[in-house]
């Protein structure tokens, strides 16, 4: 199994935790809310039986339920799987260390087949106060959008050993397929590249496809609410603005970030295009027309302030931070990785922290501090023209999302470049996936090769 490696410089593990870039490793010991329940262990490993790609933490608010991960396989030719893994409960009850005979700190409590197509994304239903089921609901994308119920296994002996990430003391659970949602207008099913679950209205899921469309589904009625041609080429990722029922954004092979409002789908707003960022070249020059756009692979809204988005290009080591009020140029660029960036995740508890993972085996956590920038007077008319279009999108949810609609608007004329993360971890392989726990924000999980590694901040 891949194990953590120490490297020189800021990107080292200090005594097992993700180390700060500039301070002693001991300063990295984060919140202690789980210390009373678990032995102080900073890295929790899981060896999966197949290459890992899909990865997501449970959103349930209690520690017992939060410490579960949904894991999806990426097997190109063969039957793909999804698993639910959790921590053995005996470690929390009697305070002993983890089982030394096991290669994994996590134990699988449910597994099922996911057909032939790999799991491009897996997500648990968002937690909404007062919205409680007797089972857990998950969704996956691949050939179709599939919904899964995670229930207790009725055949399991209730007296068997318990686990911490569970409601009952039983060990095994069942993943039962609840629904398969397909676009019936098409003669064939175009693979889904990604999806996102709406945190404000958990009945809504939006999917992205290589057929250039995005589809918004109601997962309570299992009906498509709307479908739209979102891009000129394949759509690679799509995400809802946090705590907003109407706003979503997408990226794709045409190299643009586009924003949509379900209340006004007749137009979209282009927030950023890759061609606009090539230095020294005018956007409408003949040379520009000859340059094919560089695809954008992923994007993510800041969890606490929906004015901010992050994205990155294919085969690029740089991450762009965008402000939707100032389209066209990133407000920040993160340039610390030495290999292609594959994944990123905004902090669920801090509006200025984002984690990134790369082929260079590194997981970085950046402090982007975009909220503290001075208001840029140079923006002038350009900003006001754009802002009236976006104010309802980004400001209407300010009472829900904890963001600050009056946060300073950055200058449209400069991009702040960050070269150094403030936390770094070197793991045992190319990082394909990052998940940051919303219920226990001191935990970040990363997937590389056949390993899932949970790092305590």
- Residue 381: its H or E element: helix 380-395
First to last CA, the chain: 22
Smallest CA-to-CA distance from 28 within 6, 13, 7, 43 is with 13
Residues 439, 39 contacting (CB under 8 angstroms): no
Smallest CA-to-CA distance from 375 within 326, 418, 423 is with 326
Reported confidence tier of residue 286, pLDDT bands at 50, 70, 90? low
Residues 238, 194 contacting (CB under 8 angstroms): yes
In this structure, of 87-101, 110-124, 241-255, 270-284, the range with the lowest mean pLDDT score is 87-101
Per-residue pLDDT tens digits for 402-444: 344 445 555 556 899 999 999 999 998 999 999 999 999 999 9
- Residue 14: its H or E element: strand 13-14
Of 229 and 134, the one with more pLDDT: 229
Q: What gap in Å lies between CA 412 and CA 377, rounded to an integer?
A: 9
Domains of the chain listed by start with CATH number: 13-456 (2.130.10.10)
pTM for the predicted model, two decimal places: 0.80
| Phi and psi based region of residue 212 (left: phi greater than 0; alpha: psi -120 to 50; beta: remaining) | left
120-129, 385-394, 403-412 — which one is most confidently predicted on average? 120-129
Q: What gap in Å lies between CA 341 and CA 338, rounded to an integer?
A: 9
Residues 53, 118 contacting (CB under 8 angstroms): yes
pLDDT at 70 over 70: yes
Q: What gap in Å lies between CA 119 and CA 71, rounded to an integer?
A: 9
Reported confidence tier of residue 150, pLDDT bands at 50, 70, 90? very high
pLDDT at position 450 = 96
Mean pLDDT of the chain: 78
Q: Check residue 139 and report its DSSP letter.
A: E
Per-residue pLDDT tens digits for 390-403: 333 332 333 333 34
pLDDT at position 378 = 36
CA distances from 169 to 2, 153, 157, 183, 210 (A): 31, 11, 10, 40, 43
pLDDT at 382 over 60: no
Q: What gap in Å lies between CA 235 and CA 151, rounded to an integer?
A: 33
Q: What gap in Å lies between CA 439 and CA 270, rounded to an integer?
A: 33
In this structure, of 71-80, 349-358, 366-375, 398-407, the range with the lowest mean pLDDT score is 398-407
Q: Check residue 215 and report its DSSP letter.
A: E
pLDDT at 169 over 80: no
pLDDT at position 71 = 97
Beta bridge partners of 44: 454
- Average pLDDT score over residue span 43-66: 93
pLDDT at 232 over 60: yes
> Which residues neighbour 438 within 8 Å (Cβ) at sequence distance 6 or greater?
57, 59, 127, 303, 348
Reported confidence tier of residue 337, pLDDT bands at 50, 70, 90? very high
> Which residues neighbour 434 within 8 Å (Cβ) at sequence distance 6 or greater?
55, 343, 344, 345, 355, 356, 357, 363, 444, 445, 446, 447
Smallest CA-to-CA distance from 346 within 371, 328, 383 is with 371
């Amino acid at each position: 199994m891949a194990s953590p490696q120490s490297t020189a410089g800021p990107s080292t593990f200090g005594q097992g935790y993700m180390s700060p870039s500039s301070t002693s490793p001991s300063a990295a010991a984060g919140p202690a809310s789980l210390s009373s329940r678990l032995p102080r262990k900073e890295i929790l490993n899981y060896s999966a039986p197949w290459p890992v790609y899909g990865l997501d933490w449970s959103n349930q608010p209690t520690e017992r339920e939060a410490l579960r991960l949904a894991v999806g396989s990426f097997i190109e030719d063969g039957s793909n799987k999804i698993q639910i893994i959790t921590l053995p409960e005996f470690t929390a009850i009697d305070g002993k260390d983890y089982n030394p005979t096991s290669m994994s700190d996590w134990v699988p409590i449910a597994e099922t087949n996911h057909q032939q197509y790999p799991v491009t994304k897996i997500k648990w239903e968002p937690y909404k106060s007062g919205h409680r089921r007797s089972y857990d609901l998950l969704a996956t994308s691949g050939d179709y959008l599939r919904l899964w119920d995670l229930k207790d296994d009725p055949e399991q002996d209730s007296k068997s050993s318990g686990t911490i990430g569970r409601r009952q003391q039983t060990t095994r659970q069942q993943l039962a397929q609840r629904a398969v949602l397909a676009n019936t207008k098409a003669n064939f099913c175009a693979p889904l590249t990604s999806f996102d679950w709406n945190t404000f209205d958990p009945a809504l899921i939006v999917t992205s496809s290589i057929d250039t469309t995005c589809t918004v589904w109601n997962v309570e009625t299992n009906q498509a609410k709307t479908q739209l041609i979102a891009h000129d080429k394949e759509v690679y990722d799509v995400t809802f603005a946090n705590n907003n029922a109407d706003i979503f954004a997408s990226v794709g092979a045409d190299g643009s970030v586009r924003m949509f409002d379900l209340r006004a789908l007749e137009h979209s707003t282009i927030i950023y295009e890759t061609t606009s960022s090539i230095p020294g070249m005018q956007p409408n020059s003949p040379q520009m027309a000859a340059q094919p756009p560089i695809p954008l692979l992923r994007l993510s809204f800041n969890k606490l302030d929906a004015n901010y988005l992050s994205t990155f290009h294919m085969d690029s080591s740089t991450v762009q931070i965008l402000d939707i009020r100032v389209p066209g140029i990133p407000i920040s660029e993160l340039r610390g990785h030495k290999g292609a960036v594959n994944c990123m995740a905004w902090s669920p508890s801090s509006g200025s922290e984002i984690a990134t993972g790369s082929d260079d085996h590194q997981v970085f956590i950046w402090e982007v501090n975009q909220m503290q920038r001075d208001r840029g007077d140079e923006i002038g008319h350009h900003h006001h023209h754009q802002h009236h279009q976006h104010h309802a999108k980004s400001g209407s949810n300010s009472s829900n999302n904890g963001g600050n609609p009056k946060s300073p608007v950055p200058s449209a004329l400069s991009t702040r470049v960050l070269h150094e993360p403030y936390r770094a971890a070197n793991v045992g392989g190319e990082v394909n996936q990052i998940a940051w726990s919303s219920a226990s924000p001191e935990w970040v999980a990363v997937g590389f090769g056949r390993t899932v590694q949970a790092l305590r901040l």
